[in-house]
Amino acid sequence: MSTTAEPTTLDFKVADLGLAEFGRKEIRLAEHEMPGLMKTREEFAASQPLKGARIMGSLHMTIQTAVLIETLVALGAEVRWVSCNIFSTQDHAAAATVVGPNGTPEDPQGVSVYAWKGETLEEYWWCTEQALQWPEHGGPNLILDDGGDATMLVHKGTEYEAAGAVPDPASAESEEFKVFLTLLTRSLQDDPNRWTKVGQDIVGVSEETTTGVHRLYELAKTGELLFPAINVNDSVTKSKFDNLYGCRHSLVDGINRAVDVMLAGKTAVVCGFGDVGKGSAESLRAQGARVIVTEIDPICALQASMQGYQVQTLEDVIEVADVFITTTGNKDIITVDDMARMKHQAIVGNIGHFDNEIDVAGLEKYDGITRINIKPQVDEWVFPDGHSIILLSEGRLLNLGNATGHPSFVMSNSFTNQTIAQIELWTKNDQYEKQVYVLPKHLDEKVARLHLDAVGVKLTQLRPDQAAYIGVPVEGPYKPDHYRY
Amino acid sequence: MPVLRSVRERFAAEQPLKGVKVGACLHVTAETANLARALAAGGAEVALCAANPLSTQDDVVEVLASEMLVRAKRGTDPRPGVAEVATWGPHVTLDDGADLIALLHEGDALVDGFLGGTEETTTGLVRVRALDLRCPVLALNEARTERVFNDHYGTGQSTLDGILRATNVLLAGRTVVIVGYGFTGRGIATRARGAGAQVIICEVDPLAALEARMEGFEVMPALAAAARGDIFITVTGTPRVLGAEHFAVMKDGASLANAGHFDVEIDLDALAAAATERRQVLPLVESFTLASGRRLHLLAQGRVVNLAAGQGHPAEIMDISFAVHALAVEHLVTRGGSLAPGIHPVPEPIDREVARLKLAALGVGIDALTPEQEAYRHSWGGAA
């Protein structure tokens, strides 16, 4: 691990600053594929709308995220960063972000990053804590979150400080929550007002993903939300692009890099047919796999059926399928008893945000089971009867754990939304209550517009009489807010 | 039909078929009329009869009757017409199901100077092979252009069209069982999937079955599929691929359609025997109520559903197919005398010529090998 080097005050912890040159090369390629971010840099280069903003980001520390971070910096922000997943960091991206475009590994001049691939849970939450601590100013004034972990740390910390006590870590229902409670127990001893103060300084959060958004709406509903939140996930140019096209690209990439099995001819089960499930099913089918969908929502189930997918319960297909992918955002989708009944060397992976869709803890506790690590993020679990299953990325996001996540172009859409959301929260803060907002449609359309040239799209211009006929402005927005695309 | 038109224009100029009597036993449709006229333009005398009792377009018969001998009427037994054309004494025959060539081989009806025949379908070729063949027969449906266009694209599209016209059923969300994964089965399978159906394939050939599986289709024995399907389509060329045991487990309301040449693929006798009641529910849909109370819907009496319920192949497909026919007749006229009795493939130059004419009609340009590239391809490991 590299830590703070002498001539600079930059603090960080990444795997190896020697990887920075490789990271910088890939960042350079990615910049060309991320026209939304690069055009946003041009647009706001002079006005510096994020001047004075201290943004703490908790989002997969990849090459694409490096381009986002450097965009925020280019717009005037100070930034500290962590990954929101223990396996998703690309170490060369983290190194290049620390070194920055003008620094060297000996004299890094970029951004404080605390992230490396393969963190322990303790390390993960330690990193999150470090990124929430500015050396001179206390905490951040903005959070850019993916999955809501940073937001949760501030909220739970504030809640427990108000109560004067943290629940006993031994009572936690998951290993991760135990680590989380242990951290807060220590922090309460060190400074009984730490998170309360941090929360008071924060003027907003922009949230990247379905799961984090769900947490935010829950907080807003109970009146516990400490600051305004922008739901970036539900921008059309995010969820209908990142979740759908991103997963369509990276799911099969992850499976192939992990196990390199022929997907044609196999039977694959996709649990959940939301945007992520739709993209996942399409990519598996395109490989020649027979795809079966499981759903709890009758609308999504009927959509799957009308697209020609068989819709079954997991119970019906557990013994016949070769590949199982969870995309639900819910917990306990595939249990250890399910895995015990699967075919020999069935592949089990998750592309939903959290690792609780597959019962990995149950596997670990299963009587007589053996774990054979094939390579990083690929484990064969051998049951006592001799049959095994292959678990990808320990049940965490396999597209990031086994491959490199979504491609730059898709992430440019998501991250342009993020950048715009951060500008909104910073420059128009008085217009936002402690509620959850989605970006207005004209900004959503703007994000799409910024990406058209790069793919050679020629947009037809609405004529004034046509605009009047359907009752929209010539320059948009073109659809009502409830339009579903 | 731009390809057939360019063939016809050359025929008109060169008169390669002058004085030759061509007997054609085909589906009597507007596209077939264009073929008959192209042959006539090349100098041939043409007689036309029907290969199927339900596929004749009577308006076409009416128009052609003033130009040539035509014996066909929708809904009537085609056999007397075939017999009349056989007696007329053709030098060259065109068949779609081998009715005419088979009849000419009964007794000794082939005229002196008989040059040979063509056969359009896989099923017809099976019949031709069973004959004690005394002339050359060109296997048109084994031509590459034919396989690709007629079976895959033509029947692939028109079979579903026929089923939709007969039943007006929504394919999305339905389970379509396709029995047979040959060229036609593949064409139907991809289109049914594209329309949102779940597709199950039944096969006897392990290679074809594996291909279906690698394309992501579910593959299983027909008996297992019988309980799952909403729509069954037979495209095998084999009799009784769906029979009593299948009907017994099918769901209430399942539809049965055949796109293979003959009406033998669905066991109609067994279906009739299993039924306690039969009712015509739509013009081309007959409902069979089984003892269990479940109803099965038979489309177009189990005959080629794409022709009987739809309009057959689109003209573009028939354009390709009939251009091959026309050039095959020319080949028989110029070379027929030197060909041994037996089944012959369509010469590759005909395939290439038809494809070339079609590309020209589409306005598609393609590359040509350079002489060096040509030499390289014929050299040993590029050492030339």
Check residue B142 and give its pLDDT: 86
Q: pLDDT, tens digit, for every residue of B318-342?
A: 899 899 999 999 999 999 789 999 9
| B26 sits in which H/E element | strand B21-26
What number is the average pLDDT over the span A9-29?
Answer: 96
Check residue B147 and give its pLDDT: 83
Closest to B30 in 3D by CA, of B10, B1, B6 = B1
How far is it, in rounded angstroms, from Cα B237 to Cα B179? 10
Closest to B179 in 3D by CA, of B307, B302, B54, B317 = B302
Confidence of residue A8 (pLDDT cuts 50, 70, 90): low
CA distances from B294 to B6, B226, B274, B291 (A): 53, 13, 11, 7
| Whether residue B379 has pLDDT greater than 90 | no
DSSP string covering A353-420, please?
SSTTSB-HHHHHHSTT-EEEEEETTEEEEE-TTS-EEEEEGGGS-HHHHTS--S-HHHHHHHHHHHHH
Check residue A1 and give its pLDDT: 53
> Is pLDDT larger for residue A168 or for residue A6?
A168
How far is it, in rounded angstroms, from Cα B316 to Cα B362? 11
**Paired tokens of B127:** 């019949």
Check residue B107 and give its pLDDT: 77
Q: pLDDT, tens digit, for every residue of B230-275?
A: 999 999 989 999 999 999 999 999 999 999 988 999 999 999 999 9
How far is it, in rounded angstroms, from Cα A104 to Cα A99? 6
Check residue B146 and give its pLDDT: 83
DSSP conformational letter for B111 = P
- What phi, psi does B207 have (nearest 5°)? -70, -45
Confidence of residue A298 (pLDDT cuts 50, 70, 90): very high
Closest to B330 in 3D by CA, of B357, B350, B359 = B350
Contact B218/A at CB under 8 A: yes
Q: Shortest CB distance from B198 goes to which of A264, A288, A310?
A: A310
What number is the average pLDDT over the span A362-380?
Answer: 97
Check residue B54 and give its pLDDT: 87
**Distance separating the N- and C-terminal Cα atoms of chain A:** 46
Q: pLDDT, tens digit, for every residue of A233-262?
A: 999 999 899 999 999 999 999 999 999 999
How far is it, in rounded angstroms, from Cα A193 to Cα A181? 16
Q: Shortest CB distance from B216 goes to which of A264, A305, A307?
A: A264
CA atoms within 13 A on the CB side of A399: 26
Contact B215/A at CB under 8 A: yes
Beta bridge partners of A324: A269, A348
What number is the average pLDDT over the span B134-144?
Answer: 92
| Whether residue B34 has pLDDT greater than 70 | yes
| Whether residue A3 has pLDDT greater than 70 | no
Closest to B186 in 3D by CA, of B164, B167, B209 = B209
Annotated catalytic residue A208: yes
From A70, A242, A295, A338, active-site residue:
A242
Q: Do B196 and A302 touch (CB under 8 A)?
A: no
Q: Do B218 and A290 touch (CB under 8 A)?
A: yes
Q: Do A288 and B199 touch (CB under 8 A)?
A: no
How far is it, in rounded angstroms, from Cα B321 to Cα B316? 9
Q: Provide the edge-to-edge strand list for the sheet that holds B295-299.
A: B218-219, B198-202, B175-179, B231-234, B254-258, B295-299, B285-290, B275-282
Burial label for B109, CB within 10 Å (0-12, 13-18, 19+), is: middle
Contact A273/B at CB under 8 A: no
Q: pLDDT, tens digit, for every residue of B71-127?
A: 999 999 999 999 999 999 999 999 999 999 999 999 777 888 999 999 998 889 999
From A2, A58, A64, A83, active-site residue:
A83
How far is it, in rounded angstroms, from Cα A464 to Cα A469? 9
Average pLDDT for chain A: 95
Check residue B383 and give its pLDDT: 46
How far is it, in rounded angstroms, from Cα A156 to Cα A158? 5
Annotated catalytic residue A353: yes
Contact B213/A at CB under 8 A: yes
| B366 sits in which H/E element | none
| Whether residue A226 has pLDDT greater than 60 | yes
